[in-house]
Structure 1
Amino acid sequence: MTDHEGLVSAYASDAELDAEATVRPKRLAEFIAQHRVRDQLDLLLRGAMGRGTPPDHILLSGPPGLGKTTLANIVAAELGAGIRVTSGPAIERSGDLAAILTSLGEGDVLFIDEIHRIAKPAEELLYSAMEDFRVDVIVGKGPGATAIPLDVEPFTLVGATTRSGLLTGPMRDRFGFVAHLDFYTPAELDVLIQRSARILRVPVTEDGSAEIAGRSRGTPRIANRLLRRVRDFAEVRADGTVTLETARAALHVYDVDELGLDRLDKAVLTALVDSFRGGPVGLSTLAVAVGEQPDTVEEVCEPFLVRAGLLARTPRGRVATEAAWRHLGRTPPNGTFGAAMPSTPDLFSGGSQEV
């Protein structure tokens, strides 16, 4: 490769990264779906700006990929404030958090992702910072230790969690606004995909975007990822336009079926049905059968499989429902769990059965 070709390649790569970054909405008005949360946030921010004070601390909960990080950046943009981004696992000591807090400017937004995983000493330090905008830094050890109070500029904490049940009561109570993000409907994802396609300059037909939306598991992050992969397929093996046929062919190559199940999802269901006769089977045993860690199966696969009505959690273990047997093309035996459920579950109306 010549120097000129290398420069062109680097420029194209940077341009693509810039294009991907622009897919995320920058303002509340651009944020698709989550209408109730969006309206509540709008009231919160407008009220605070009218008073000239930072808004209450904000807690966003919900499954991964629904827009918690995007909303945190939107909050900062709407306020015209700076934003500092970190995560719970990255804050191991209270001193780490104290350094972050004391570096904030007045009115800044501090975003802590996976806030339920923050270390206990840091969490206790955060209490006084959230309520009194003050932190006490301990200097020295033993009887000679001294607490030095440090003032913190008024700020807004935006915490995000995928497991709100792991938050302690004192932490949850210090948030003035708590919101839960729900999965998107296929129609909402269709609008999102068409918006992303315009930004990325990807020609897409209405049925092509609808096909991708229907396989995106109600999650914007997955929808945008599938759009990029279908774009690659369309540019390499078709005429560059994402049509219904192109989308189906591309998603078949990437092992994403009509419900949005990927290779691991289907491996879990196949192991349940073929190796364990539908269950019940323990999580650890199921994870070994598919060659994955139990945490991966529990946190990555199960939430969607349960919501789709394909898997149930019971006191005795995981069980494949009748819908799972039929989705795999198997005939369910008599007495299969969920036999009264419809064979085509509604993934977004909340009608699927969970145990």
Structure 2
Amino acid sequence: MSVPDDHVTRLVGGDADQEERTVEAALRPRTLAEFVGQERLREQLSLVLDAARARGRSADHILLSGPPGLGKTTLAMIVAAEMGVPLRITSGPAIQHAGDLAAILSSVNEGDVLFFDEIHRMARPAEEILYTAMEDFRVDIVVGKGPGATAIPLELPHFTMVGATTRTGLLPGPLRDRFGFTGHLELYEPAELELVLRRSAGLLDLELKGEGTGEIAGRSRGTPRIANRLLRRVRDFAEVRGNGVITGDVARAALKVFAVDELGLDRLDRAVLTALCKSFGGGPVGLGTLAVAVGEERETVEEVAEPFLVRAGLLARTPRGRVATPAAWSHLGLAPPAQTAFGRGFDEPDLFSAADGA
């Protein structure tokens, strides 16, 4: 069963392009059976939901963790669809005051699924209200200030909280403990991404050849969201400069135009590696210095480029700063210097402080 559009309430709207959002929504699986990959997590979720339906009760609260783009929001929608109840969507950054959360909780109906994206970014005062709401289905509304303040308990209907986070370690222990089930989403293998792409191509009515599928899957960083985005850009190229059929040659030509190389590195990734190798001899170099060198904010380099570069074995984080690995030199077609950070002692003097490299 899928949740009709009018049963999905977005409590905090986004500013993404409406057309892109519509296409992404059309590609989302609607049931666990349609969801590709994450075999163990799908089996675990299926048991949790089947047991809740058999008891005629709301499912336990669910925490989903993992890198962006793997399907946490999609799984929250599937939970609501499988339970046959409305889905209400909000996000941690939007909840900055206890009153914000109290207003959302007071509008929840019996059995609803309440999805909190980026739950680790919720304000601490709001989290304290969430503890009793999740455990006792009650919110204490404080009326007045100072010695005359009074707490009025507000009973809540039973609901299922689904929290999504990319950084589980930032969640306070008491909040993590209130989730009855915690699932972690792993990065996808290329073969799984090919299944995702073939399904998406069918929904978009695209002719996608085998080699073209492999080219896109291999450059998608193990992430279905990126795979679907690249598929749409390759589709644009095939329709404008080809006959609409996505072959291996078409996919390679398209991804070259959109600056995505054979490992999935984009402009920012290559800029970071190039600056690290050419300007700083492979490092170590501090994050702040590296961000200035590529003309980006420190947070952008740390949160957007670094995670994939580290997973790909192209960059290492050390106590003294960022270091290019031998694979990074090879990927850029550069010859590493005779002595790199991997070959010299870390007690040697360096131009960059440990504080900058943290």
* Count of aligned pairs: 328
Quote the offset at 1:19 in angstroms: 4.6
Q: Which residue of 2 aligns with 1:116?
A: 120
Counterpart contact for 1:186–1:218, Cα < 8 Å? yes
Q: CA deviation at 1:338?
A: 6.0
| Counterpart Cα distance in 1 of 2:116 and 2:138 | 18
Alpha-carbon distance in structure 2 between the residues aligned to 1:329 and 1:133? 59
Give the aligned partner of residue 220 of structure 2.
216
Q: 2:162 corresponds to which residue?
A: 158
SS in 1 for 2:141: strand
Q: String of CA shifts for 1:317-344, please: whole Å, max 9, x gaps.
A: 00000000000001123354568xxxxx
Asked whether the 8 Å contact 2:142–2:150 carries over to 1, the reply is yes
Partner residue in 2 for 1:271:
275
Q: Which residue of 2 aligns with 1:315?
A: 319
Question: Aligned pair 1:28/2:32, yes or no?
Answer: yes
- 1:15: how far off? 8.6
Determine if contact 1:216/1:223 at 8 Å carries over to the other structure: yes
* Aligned residue in 1 for 2:258: 254
Q: Is the 8 A contact 1:19 1:199 kept in 2?
A: no
Distance 1:81 1:262 in 2: 40
What TM-score comes out, normalization by structure 1 length? 0.90
Determine the C-alpha separation between the residues in 2 that align with 1:74 and 1:337: 47
- Call closer, same or farther: CA 1:332–1:246 in 2, change over 3 Å: same
State the distance in 2 between where 1:174 and 1:202 align: 44
- Determine whether 1:304 maps to 2:304: no
**Aligned with 2:129: secondary structure?**
helix
Amino acid at match of 1:151: E
Aligned with 1:232 (options 227, 233, 236): 236
Mapped partners of 1:50, 1:321: distance in 2 = 53
Equivalent residue letter for 2:209 = T
Matching residue of 1:74: 78
- Whole-angstrom distance in 1 between the partners of 2:196 and 2:240: 24
Match of 2:43 among 39, 51, 75: 39
Could you give the per-residue CA deviations for residues 19-49 of structure 1, whole angstroms, max 9, x where no partner exists? Answer: 5422000000111111111110000000111
Contact 1:85 1:111 in 2 (8 A): yes
SS class of match (2:245): coil
CA distance in 2, matches of 1:173, 1:243: 49
CA distance in 2, matches of 1:209, 1:329: 27
Shift of residue 265, structure 1, vs aligned partner = 0.1
The whole-number CA distance in structure 1 between the counterparts of 2:219 and 2:256 is 11
Task: State the 4+ residue runs in structure 1 displaced beyond 6 angstroms.
Answer: 13-17
CA contact (8 A) 2:276 2:323 kept: yes
| C-alpha distance in 2 between matches for 1:245 and 1:151 | 61
Given the superposition, is the C-alpha separation of residues 110 and 223 from structure 1 closer, same or farther in structure 2, using an over 3 Å criterion? same
Distance verdict in 2 for CA 1:187–1:220, change over 3 Å: same
Task: Compute the RMSD of aligned alpha carbons.
Answer: 1.6
Instruction: Indicate conservation of the 8 Å contact 2:137/2:157, yes or no.
Output: yes
Distance 1:196 1:167 in 2: 34
SS, match of residue 33 in structure 2: helix
Q: Which runs of 5 or more structure 2 residues have no equivalent in the other structure?
A: 1-16, 344-358
Output the CA distance in 2 between the equivalents of 1:271 and 1:82: 49
The secondary structure found in structure 2 opposite 1:319 is: strand
Change (3 A) 1:17 1:147: closer
Distance 1:15 1:83 in 2: 22
Question: What's the offset of the Cα at 1:202?
Answer: 1.2
Contact 1:322 1:337 in 2 (8 A): no
- The corresponding residue for 1:346 is none
